[in-house]
């Protein structure tokens, strides 16, 4: 490959002629400046770009010809003729102003798209300064919901397109990178991305068949541009801190809590006891100002035969919690070679290495919030304190627990393309990927409950993937007709093997290799592996008449080894149509203000095969099953040979509108998406001898409306201001379950209820109405009205009143699971009116899914200064704040509630309280799910802000540079929300258990600066 690059580059023409410096200014026909225009010397490789003010500078011979070109304008060729200044006015070329979007196995003019496709441009990505691909897309695309799993460095994100359409079948969209599946998305440097297309409806995604039920995201990386080699460098440094510090009890509040709980000052409230006389702010002890350093380099170029792009990047990202970090190295090489007018080839190589240390969030974050602040962190000799009172030392957990991960990933994609004749092209490609992961964990003696032994574990796995595709592209225009078609074949295979070994009683805590363990842990020694494969035939046929009437159809026939022999193949068709009514004669009166207006309609079927391997087969596994002797027995999961595809039917109705010479555009879509044969891991009765079986259980529906409005508010000689606003409304309904039987999920008696007619994410529990002020407050009339206890001047109870009138009727008392409720207990809603609070009184309390999400982007520029910022938010979802509940659960050993609970808890008869009394009983102190710990998750976030200054072109060219930009940026700067804990934005990886905050790594607030240099 290096030889080929050298050979082709060496063929570039060179000329030794006397040259002069030529300068000038380029404007557009509407009198606006024209930045980013390419100026080249015809017949040579010399090239320059106009700056933000439209100025340019280039060296050329007196008899040379300059070529001025920019997308959307008509190119001009101007002879130098011994001039030193040439000013140019470029005219708009309507025929070129059609943006091209990448679709499955080809491209299409954006104005001719009949499906629901949204794009994220290179410009939008650059302005955002994203950490990863997910960060680059969040809030930019209607219908696309992205939530970071946690604030931990290296953490992934959950991505959903048009709601959640599966129970346990894999809800992530399919990613296509430069035409290839299976590429490591986390290994892509956002600086290498040229565009992102999000295929939201079935008509757009169906050509990918069995893996496209959750939508498709197509990522195209950068290529070289004709002219001299372009070298770019970027460096940034940022500083981060905890974005939102939650209230935490101090020592005095902990002692008050103990007194409220017991009526006495306990030994753990003794300020003279050295083990319990601290006053720690664990959030301050655990968090830090974290530093992120990132450097990216790229080299690119092209001539008529060869295009290349190479990049390398390094990211060092400290976490805001001490001893958490991630280091990432990423590299890419893209090459396209055109041997002649018929034959072309290319390659895409992506390499990445990442390493990170993950803290144990439960043992660190939750312990930090719940552990009494009076418990010491350090011993008198300065060493870290061990577990005290059944509570771990969070600082010791963060500093001493080792939990390191490493990932090596490499992928290479090659293609060959042959133009059989002008309208027909054949392409064959091969993509291969290899991944190696390792995990090394170690827990020293100090962190064990009894401080008597240490424990370690080592895991590793290796994964390979290959895919090959062969397809024909046909594209022919004649008169007013255009026909395009695709026909192809795909096959792929994935292989995995892994191993684990664990041990304890290591002789040295400095050397933690397994050969130094005195005892190996049998339950942690295992190997496993699997293999899956698939094959597909696919096709597309499109027709356009005058660009006014459009129709497209896709077909795909998929086979997957994950299903039984009778259900391995699935057929996934789609059809879509568009009508550009702005071209009709009856719309002539709108031509002055309507540029383009089109209606789209589509319907299609897509599939989902993403389940664990061999679920259709009865598997066997080894283990110690009798008298310590290893044997082989059926696995706990029963094989289901009738297992079949999830299939999603989707109808879409949309409109694309453009006004005022492109200054305003609106894209809107309404959709109805139904998924049948949902894949679910159902529990089995113990009598069967199995625990679970994977089955197809029912149907779910997502209906919604989404739109995006783009507007160019101001554009003149010095100023430009453009905005983009998108919004998504989605309603999710469970249409059918197996035999209509509801599914309950979550700890205890269940937290989430999935039932026919309900929504995924429905919280199921008890409704709290308040706190009983007195023991006598647990009094109810025959009709179910709560009575008011009456006391005389001495405080003695004298009777009851109802609405201010003495009550003499029958008085009923509520019991909570057989126990009479007293003062300080929660007043639960007696749903069925039987006087007993039990499981029959549980109800739907709310839902985790937001009613709508929205993104709002602004870009403002004045001469060489640009300001961009993005807002993102959601409304209507709820969060189960289990982290707060665990602190306020008195049965939890030495748990410490937050100050709001401590000061608001009931302590004595007559207290008007917002929180229940500190008592160790199941329902009285709300240990299970209730409305008391469900919170509104609505929020608006200033997602990012960036201020850029581009240095004067005249100055930087004196030092032989093309462009220098200095910028300051901030991420997650402000969040407006009523949620009481760290972050209202909760990931939704588990469709059946959404909206749970169990004590996640908190999100950071980041501010930094950087510099971009183009040589």
Q: What is 702-751 written as a DSSP string?
A: EEEEEEEEEEEEEESSSEEEEEEEEEEEEEEEEEE-GGG--EEESSTT-S
Q: Are 650 and 671 in contact (CB under 8 A)?
A: yes
Indicate whether 801 pLDDT > 80. Answer: yes
Q: Which of 245-259, 889-903, 946-960 has the highest mean pLDDT?
A: 245-259
Indicate whether 298 pLDDT > 60. Answer: yes
110: CB partners within 8 A, 6+ apart: 98, 99, 100, 101, 117, 119
How many of the other CB atoms lie within 10 Å of CB of 617? 15
Torsion sign over Cα 158, 164, 166, 167: positive
| pLDDT attached to residue 486 | 95
Least confident of 51-55, 667-671, 983-987: 51-55
| pLDDT attached to residue 398 | 92
Output the domain CATH number for residue 194: 2.170.130.10
| pLDDT attached to residue 893 | 63
Residues 204 and 159 in one domain: yes
Indicate whether 633 pLDDT > 90. Answer: no
985-995 mean pLDDT: 86
Residues 135 and 91 in one domain: no
Indicate whether 740 pLDDT > 90. Answer: no
Domain-located, residue 201: yes
pLDDT digit string (tens) for 583-623? 888 888 888 888 889 999 999 999 888 888 888 888 877 66
| pLDDT attached to residue 628 | 57
Residues 105 and 220 in one domain: yes
Indicate whether 660 pLDDT > 90. Answer: no
Residues 191 and 87 in one domain: no
Region of residue 372 (left: phi > 0; alpha: psi -120 to 50; beta: else): beta
Residues 87 and 112 in one domain: no
- Among candidates 231, 227, 232, which has minimal Cα distance to 302? 227
Domain-located, residue 943: no
* DSSP 8-state code for residue 112: G
Indicate whether 78 pLDDT > 70. Answer: yes
| pLDDT attached to residue 93 | 60
Residue ending a domain, choose from 210, 226, 242: 226
Model confidence at 196, pLDDT cuts 50, 70, 90, reads very high
| pLDDT attached to residue 363 | 72
| pLDDT attached to residue 1 | 40
pTM for the model stands at 0.86
Unique residue bearing structure tokens 């197509």: 218
Residues 83 and 131 in one domain: no
792-819 mean pLDDT: 90
Indicate whether 96 pLDDT > 70. Answer: no
Residues 106 and 202 in one domain: yes
Cα dihedral 678, 987, 146, 237, rounded to 10, equals: -150
Q: Are 116 and 110 in contact (CB under 8 A)?
A: no
Residue ending a domain, choose from 226, 245, 271: 226
| pLDDT attached to residue 708 | 95
- Among candidates 951, 528, 981, 931, which has minimal Cα distance to 766? 931
Residues 13 and 110 in one domain: no
Indicate whether 903 pLDDT > 90. Answer: yes
pLDDT digit string (tens) for 20-50? 889 998 887 666 677 778 888 887 777 888 8
Q: What is 624-668 written as a DSSP string?
A: EEETTEEEEEE-SEEP-TT---EEEEEEEEEEEEEETTTTEEEEE
965-978 mean pLDDT: 94
Q: Are 660 and 593 in contact (CB under 8 A)?
A: yes
Domain-located, residue 80: yes
Domain-located, residue 33: yes
As a whole number of angstroms, the distance between CA 271 and CA 872 comes to 47
Least confident of 3-12, 257-266, 390-399, 405-414: 3-12
Structure token digits, residue 466: 């290959």
Domain-located, residue 275: no
Residues 104 and 194 in one domain: yes
Indicate whether 257 pLDDT > 60. Answer: yes
100-116 mean pLDDT: 81
Report the DSSP pairing between strands 692-696 and 620-626. unpaired
Residues 77 and 133 in one domain: no
Residues 73 and 133 in one domain: no
| pLDDT attached to residue 745 | 86
* DSSP 8-state code for residue 385: P
As a whole number of angstroms, the distance between CA 530 and CA 536 comes to 21
Q: Which of 113-122, 762-771, 992-1001 has the highest mean pLDDT?
A: 762-771
| pLDDT attached to residue 7 | 35
* 225 burial via Cβ count (<10 Å: 0-12, 13-18, 19+): middle
Indicate whether 636 pLDDT > 90. Answer: no
Domain-located, residue 124: yes
Strands (E), 65-215: 65-69, 76-79, 88-90, 100-103, 106-109, 117-121, 144-148, 157-161, 174-177, 193-199
| pLDDT attached to residue 92 | 64
| pLDDT attached to residue 266 | 62
143-169 mean pLDDT: 87
Indicate whether 524 pLDDT > 90. Answer: no
| pLDDT attached to residue 924 | 54
282-299 mean pLDDT: 94
The count of structural domains within the chain is 2
- Among candidates 99, 94, 136, which has minimal Cα distance to 117? 99
Percent of the chain at pLDDT exceeding 90: 48
Exposure on the CB side of residue 972, measured as CA atoms within 13 A: 22
Alpha carbon 408 to chain centroid, angstroms:
22
Q: Domain of residue 43: give its range.
A: 2-96
As a whole number of angstroms, the distance between CA 931 and CA 450 comes to 38
| pLDDT attached to residue 891 | 59
| pLDDT attached to residue 603 | 95
Structure token digits, residue 563: 């299903």
| pLDDT attached to residue 847 | 95
| pLDDT attached to residue 2 | 40
Length of the chain: 1015
Output the domain CATH number for residue 60: 2.60.40.1120
Backbone angles phi, psi at 78, to 5 degrees: -130, 130
Helix, strand or coil for residue 868? strand
Residue ending a domain, choose from 226, 255, 282: 226
Domain-located, residue 200: yes
| pLDDT attached to residue 304 | 84
Q: Average pLDDT of the chain?
A: 87
Domain-located, residue 37: yes
Model confidence at 3, pLDDT cuts 50, 70, 90, reads very low
Residues 153 and 39 in one domain: no
* 777 burial via Cβ count (<10 Å: 0-12, 13-18, 19+): buried
């Amino acid at each position: 490959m290096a030889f080929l690059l050298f050979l082709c580059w060496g063929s570039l023409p060179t000329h030794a002629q006397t040259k002069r410096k030529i300068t000038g200014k380029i404007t557009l026909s509407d009198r606006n400046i024209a930045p980013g225009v390419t100026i080249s010397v015809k017949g040579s490789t010399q090239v320059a770009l106009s700056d933000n003010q439209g100025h340019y500078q280039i060296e050329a011979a007196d008899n040379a010809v300059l070529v001025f070109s920019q997308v959307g304008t008509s190119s001009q060729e101007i002879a130098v003729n011994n001039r030193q200044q040439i000013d140019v006015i470029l005219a708009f070329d309507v025929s070129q102003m059609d943006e091209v979007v990448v679709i499955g196995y080809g491209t299409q003019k954006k104005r001719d798209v009949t499906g629901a496709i949204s794009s994220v441009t290179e410009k939008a990505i650059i302005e955002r300064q994203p950490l990863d691909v997910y960060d680059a897309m969040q809030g930019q695309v209607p219908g696309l919901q992205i939530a970071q799993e946690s604030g931990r460095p290296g953490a992934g994100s959950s991505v959903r397109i048009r709601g959640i359409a599966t129970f346990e079948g894999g809800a992530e969209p399919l990613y296509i990178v430069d035409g290839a599946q299976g590429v490591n998305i986390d290994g892509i440097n956002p600086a290498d991305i040229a565009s992102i297309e999000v295929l939201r409806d079935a008509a757009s995604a169906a050509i990918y068949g069995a893996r496209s039920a959750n939508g498709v995201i197509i990522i195209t990386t950068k290529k070289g541009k004709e002219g001299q080699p372009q070298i770019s460098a970027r460096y940034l440094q940022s500083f981060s801190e905890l974005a939102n510090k939650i209230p935490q009890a101090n020592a005095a509040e902990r002692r008050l809590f103990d007194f409220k709980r017991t009526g006495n000052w306990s030994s753990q409230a003794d300020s003279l006891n050295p083990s319990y006389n601290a006053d720690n702010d664990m959030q301050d002890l655990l968090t830090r100002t974290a530093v992120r350093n990132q450097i990216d380099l790229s080299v690119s170029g092209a001539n008529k035969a060869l295009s290349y792009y190479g990049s390398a990047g390094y990211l060092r990202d400290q976490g805001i919690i001490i001893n958490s970090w991630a280091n990432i190295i990423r590299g890419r090489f893209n090459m396209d070679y055109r041997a002649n007018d018929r034959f072309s080839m290319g390659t895409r190589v992506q390499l990445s290495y990442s390493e990170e240390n993950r803290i144990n969030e439960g043992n660190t974050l939750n312990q930090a919030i719940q552990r009494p602040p009076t418990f010491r962190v350090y011993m008198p000799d300065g060493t870290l304190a061990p577990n005290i009172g059944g509570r771990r030392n969070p600082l010791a957990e963060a500093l001493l627990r080792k939990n390191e991960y490493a990932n090596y990933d490499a992928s290479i994609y090659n293609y060959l393309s042959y133009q059989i004749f002008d309208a027909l092209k054949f392409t064959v490609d091969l993509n291969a990927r290899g991944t190696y992961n390792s995990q090394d964990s170690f827990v020293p003696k100090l962190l064990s409950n009894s401080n008597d032994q240490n424990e370690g574990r080592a895991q590793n796995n290796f994964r390979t993937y290959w895919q090959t595709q062969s397809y024909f592209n046909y594209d022919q225009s004649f008169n007013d007709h255009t026909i395009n078609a695709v026909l192809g074949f795909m096959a792929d295979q994935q292989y995995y093997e892994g191993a684990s070994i664990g041990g304890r009683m290591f002789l040295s805590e400095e050397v933690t290799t397994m050969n130094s363990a005195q005892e190996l842990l049998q339950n942690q020694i295992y190997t496993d592996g699997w293999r899956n494969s698939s094959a597909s035939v696919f096709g597309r046929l499109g027709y356009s008449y005058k660009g006014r009437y459009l129709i497209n159809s896709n077909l795909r026939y998929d086979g997957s080894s994950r299903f039984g022999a009778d259900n391995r193949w699935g057929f996934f068709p789609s059809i879509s149509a568009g009508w550009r009514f702005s071209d009709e004669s009856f719309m002539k009166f709108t031509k002055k203000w309507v540029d383009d207006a089109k209606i789209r309609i589509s319907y299609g079927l897509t599939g989902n095969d993403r389940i664990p391997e061999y679920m259709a087969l009865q598997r066997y596994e080894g283990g110690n099953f009798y008298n310590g002797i290893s044997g082989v027995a059926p696995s706990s999961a029963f094989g289901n040979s009738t297992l079949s595809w999830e299939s999603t039917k989707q109808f879409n109705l949309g409109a694309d509108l453009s006004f005022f010479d492109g200054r305003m555009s609106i894209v809107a879509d309404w959709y109805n998406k139904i998924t049948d044969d949902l894949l679910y891991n159902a529990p089995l009765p113990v009598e069967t001898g199995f625990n679970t079986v994977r089955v197809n259980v029912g149907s779910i529906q997502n209906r919604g409306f989404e739109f995006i409005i783009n507007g160019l508010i101001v554009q003149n000689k010095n100023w430009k201001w453009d905005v983009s606003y998108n919004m998504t409304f989605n309603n999710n309904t469970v249409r059918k379950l197996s035999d209509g039987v509801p599914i309950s999920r979550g700890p205890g008696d269940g937290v989430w209820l999935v039932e026919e007619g309900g929504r995924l994410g429905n919280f199921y529990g008890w409704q709290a109405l308040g706190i009983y002020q007195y023991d006598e407050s647990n009094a109810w009339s025959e009709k179910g009205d709560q009575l008011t206890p009456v006391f005389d001047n001495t405080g003695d109870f004298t009777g009851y009143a109802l609405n201010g009138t003495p009550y003499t009727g029958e008085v009923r008392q509520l019991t909570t699971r057989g126990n009479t409720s007293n003062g300080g207990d929660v007043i639960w809603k007696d749903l069925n009116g039987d006087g007993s609070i039990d499981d029959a009184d549980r109800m739907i309390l709310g839902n985790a899914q937001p009613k709508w999400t929205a993104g709002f982007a602004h870009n403002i520029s004045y001469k060489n200064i640009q300001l961009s910022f993005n807002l993102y938010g959601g409304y209507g979802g709820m969060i189960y704040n289990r982290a707060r509940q665990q602190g306020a659960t008195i049965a939890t050993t030495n748990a410490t509630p937050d100050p709001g609970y401590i000061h608001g808890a009931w302590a004595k008869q007559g207290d008007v309280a917002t929180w229940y009394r500190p008592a160790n009983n199941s329902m009285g102190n709300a240990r299970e799910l209730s409305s008391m710990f469900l919170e509104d998750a609505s929020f608006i976030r200033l997602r990012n802000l960036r201020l850029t200054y581009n240095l004067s072109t005249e100055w930087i060219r004196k030092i032989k540079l093309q462009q220098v930009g200095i910028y300051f940026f901030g991420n997650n700067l402000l969040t407006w929300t009523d949620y009481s804990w760290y972050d209202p934005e909760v990931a939704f990886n588990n469709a059946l258990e959404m909206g749970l905050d169990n004590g996640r790594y908190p999100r950071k607030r980041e501010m930094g600066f950087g510099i971009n240099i183009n040589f």
